[in-house]
Amino acid sequence: MKIGILTSGGDCPGLNAVIRGAVLKGIAIHGHEFVGFLDGWRGVVEGDIIPIPRTLVRGIAKQGGTILGTSRTNPFENGGGPDVIKAHMDRLGIDAIIAIGGEGTLAAAKRLTDAGLKIVGVPKTVDNDLDATDYTFGFDTAVQIATEAIDRLRTTGESHHRCMIAEVMGRHVGWIALHAGMASGAHAILIPEQKVSIEQITKWVTEAHDRGRAPLIVVAEGFVPEHMESPHSERGLDTFGRPRLGGIADQLAPEIEARTGIETRATILGHIQRGGVPSAFDRVLATRLGMAAVDSVVEGRWGTMVSLNGTDIDHVGFEAALGKLKVVPQHRYDEAAVLFG
- To 10 degrees, the CA torsion angle through 341, 146, 176, 119? 170
User: Does 169 appear as a known binding residue?
Assistant: yes
Query: Is the Cβ–Cβ distance between 89 and 117 less than 8 Å?
Result: yes
User: Does 316 appear as a known binding residue?
Assistant: no
SS3 327: coil
User: Does 127 appear as a known binding residue?
Assistant: yes
> Which residue type is seen at 182?
M
User: Does 54 appear as a known binding residue?
Assistant: no
Using a 10 angstrom Cβ sphere, with 0-12 exposed, 13-18 middle and 19 or more buried, the burial of residue 28 is: exposed
User: Does 73 appear as a known binding residue?
Assistant: yes
The residues annotated with a catalytic role in the active site are: 127
User: Does 125 appear as a known binding residue?
Assistant: yes
User: Does 211 appear as a known binding residue?
Assistant: no
Query: Is the Cβ–Cβ distance between 296 and 313 less than 8 Å?
Result: no
Using a 10 angstrom Cβ sphere, with 0-12 exposed, 13-18 middle and 19 or more buried, the burial of residue 197 is: exposed
User: Does 126 appear as a known binding residue?
Assistant: yes
User: Does 272 appear as a known binding residue?
Assistant: yes
User: Does 72 appear as a known binding residue?
Assistant: yes
**Which residues have C-beta within 8 Å of that of residue 323, sequence separation ≥ 6?**
131, 132
Which positions make up the binding site for Mg(2+)? 103
Which positions make up the binding site? 10, 72-73, 102-105, 125-127, 162, 169-171, 221, 265, 271-274
Which positions make up the binding site for ATP? 10, 72-73, 102-105
